[in-house]
Structure 1
Amino acid sequence: MAPPRNRRPGFSRRAQYGLFIGYVGLIGGGLIGAVLLLLSTFNPPAFAAVRGVFAEVTTPIASGLHWMRRGLWGIPEGIGSYFAVHGENAALKDRIAKDAPALARAQTLERENRRLRDLVKLRDVATDAVVAARLVASSSSSTRRFATLNAGSWQGVKRGQPVRDPGGLIGQVLETSPNTARVLLLTDPESIVPVRRVRDGLPAIASGRGDGLIDIRSASMAAMGFQPGDAFVTSGTGGIFPPDVPVAQVVRSQGDVAIAKPSADPDALDFALVQAAFLPEPAPSPTPSASPTAQPKAAQ
């Protein structure tokens, strides 16, 4: 049997309740509106007080709903920002990895240019400079310590001339050829350099150890105490090395011997300056010429 087309709400209790609540709400809302209208017309201060009460009640609720709305709207934006930042971070890492070799080359060139500028300044100041040359090799893994310069006798390099850089003394020329020279480094066991302590001028002898360090021994009979940090420079004694060139700095002492680190590390250098000996070589003494013998007179 088909249901009737016209069914009144009274047949459903839920519909009846809904209709009743709707009427009550409509009537209540109308009464509240009328009261508020009359109150705002005839008693504005009371209306302002009522409005303040409603504002105190509704403001926290409105703030919470606004915060929730902003949070919900910000979720897609946050997800998009995360993926965007993640992709940008990956791109930056790739770029850094690609630029790393170029950065390393630039840093190497910067260090080399800085050393060359210091070397040029030293050459301009030093009046006894012979030539600035490249250190093309050094024997850092052997007990004998030598280096090779790409300048030789054709460039004015002579045996015994000191070799240095802006940081300090490196050694002295041991052998020469037309375009190369062999340098005996300070750290070689055969190297001996007269030095003096900077703080009091006390004379000493610096000799190589063959392990990259230098032994400092007193040059006088009096016992002298060494302290870590004592700096030594050339004294000029012997006429080979000019005075006041940094040589080494003490790292520790063992009795009357100090272990020192050289001021200039040849393994970390690219260029060096060859200087003339501090005192010029003595002029060769003239050889006496044979006196002419008297010619016998011809017989008449």
Structure 2
Amino acid sequence: MAPPRHRDRGFSRRIQYGLFFGYVAAAAGIVAGLALVLIARFQPLAFEGIRGLALDAMTPLATLTRPVVRGADSLGRDVGGYFGAVSENRRLRAELTDARRRLIDARVATAENVRLRRLAHIVGGGMRPVVGARIVGSSLTGNRRFATLTAGSADGVRAGQPVRAPEGLVGRIAETGAHAARIVLLTDGGSAVPLRVARTGAAVLGQGRGDGTIEVRATAAAGPGLRRGDLLVTSGVGGVFPPGIPAAVVASVSGEVASARPLADPARLDFAIVLRPVEAPPPPAPIESGGR
């Protein structure tokens, strides 16, 4: 069944009305444009008045829309600045990480240079070094206390040679390999080193306890006693250890026995120097009796 005709006519009328008003609006626009052109051509003053009225009419609209435009522009700048700040922040973080790494490397190099200069000062002070090498490990528990040196028989290291660090005496070489050696520390339970008190010059004997400390006893029956804080240095008696090397500091005194702590902590040492042992002077030749 076909739809009623009045619906088609109503639909056609709406289209026709729309086209008609569109033509009218277009024609009105053309007429208005021509009129404005003619007024601008022949009546400039009148045209200036029309422009003034148009400006007055558009000013409120511009006033209302300006915050929106400025807000959109500011939002665009903020968004751009945000993404720019993110990239800049990442770049600065990367530079900061690199700077921190370089600072750590510089501090390590500075500390190592300080130790090397101190070792060089020791060598220049009349010591007879065999070789300087790194300490790469030490035993910190048990009665036996050893440390490992990265130099061996191929470098001239031999058993019995004394070992010292910038801080003081470390011990002596116990055994060697071709490229490594084992050091018996001062605190080893079997270690015994002749020492003297720097304050008084009194001779004492330092024996390792195996617990990180040294037991100190005077070798003479009568003499000045030990005090807390006394510096103990090697005496050079009996050979092996050169005289005058700082060894330990007295921590406590109990009667004639004192407890001392070594100045050179192997757990904190990086470098050490192997020295040539001091040769004990030969015993005096016997005097032959007899006469003419």
TM-score, scaled relative to structure 1: 0.59
**Which residue of structure 1 aligns with residue 221 of structure 2?**
221
Match of 1:240 in 2: 240
Return the letter of the residue paired with 1:267: A
**In structure 1, distance between residues paired with 2:168 and 2:220:** 24
Conserved? CA contact 1:151–1:181, under 8 Å:
yes
How is 1:70-219 mapped onto 2 (pairs within 5 angstroms)?
A: 99-219=99-219
Q: What is the match of residue 269 of structure 1?
A: 269
Shift of 1:116: 1.0
Q: Distance in 2 between matches of 1:100 and 1:128?
A: 40
Deviation track 1:249-290 (CA, whole Å, cap 9, x = no partner) reads: 1121122211112121111111100011111698xxxxxxxx
| SS of residue matched to 1:267 | coil
Offset of 1:180 from its aligned partner? 1.1
Once the two structures are superposed, what CA deviation does each residue of 1:6-59 show, in whole Å capped at 9, x if it has no partner? xxxxxxxxxxxxxxxxxxxxxxxxxxxxxxxxxxxxxxxxxxxxxxxxxxxxxx
Distance 2:178 2:280 in 1: 22
1:229-265 per-residue CA deviation (whole Å, 9 max, x = no partner) reads 1111000011110101101111211222111121211
The question of whether the paired residues in 2 share the 8 Å contact of 1:218 and 1:224 is answered with no
State, as a whole percentage, how many aligned pairs show the same letter: 45
Tell me the SS of whatever aligns to 2:267: helix
SS in 2 for 1:107: helix
How far apart in 1 are the matches of 2:266 and 2:225?
29
Residues 280 and 107 of structure 1: CA distance in aligned 2, closer, same or farther (over 3 Å): same
Asked if the contact 2:208/2:214 (under 8 Å) is kept, the reply is: yes
Letter in 1 for 2:168: G
Distance 1:106 1:190, change over 3 A: same
Distance 2:280 2:249 in 1: 29
The count of corresponding residues between Structure 1 and Structure 2 is: 195
- Helix, strand or coil: the match of 1:261? strand
CA distance in 1, matches of 2:225, 2:123: 36
Residues 52-83 of structure 1, C-alpha deviation per residue, up to 9 Å, x if partnerless? xxxxxxxxxxxxxxxxxxxxxxxxxxxxxxxx
- CA-based RMSD: 2.6
2 CA distance for matches of 1:98 and 1:128? 43
Classify the secondary structure of the residue corresponding to 1:249. Answer: strand
1:291 corresponding residue in structure 2:
none
> How far off is 1:153 after superposition?
1.1
Partners of 2:97 and 2:222 in 1: CA distance: 60
Taking the aligned partners of 2:151 and 2:94, their CA distance within structure 1 comes to: 44
Which residue of 1 is the match for residue 38 of structure 2? none
Note if contact 2:202-2:223 (Cα within 8 Å) is conserved in structure 1: no
Q: What SS does the aligned partner of 2:195 have?
A: strand
TM-score (norm 2): 0.60
User: 1:99 deviation in Å?
Assistant: 4.4
Alignment of 1:254-265 (within 5 A): 254-265=254-265
CA distance in structure 2 between the partners assigned to 1:228 and 1:96 by the alignment: 48
Helix, strand or coil at the partner of 1:266: coil
State the alpha-carbon separation in 1 of the partners of residues 177 and 93 from structure 2: 51
Could you tell me how far apart the structure 1 residues matched to 2:113 and 2:98 are? 24
CA distance in 2, matches of 1:104, 1:217: 44
User: Alpha-carbon deviation of 1:105?
Assistant: 3.2
Counterpart of 1:133, as a letter, is: A
In structure 2, stretches of 5+ residues that fail to align are 1-90, 283-292
In 2, Cα distance between equivalents of 1:157 and 1:204: 28
Q: Deviations over 1:133-185 (max 9, x none)?
A: 11111112343210111111111111101000122100000001111111000
Determine if contact 1:224/1:256 at 8 Å carries over to the other structure: no
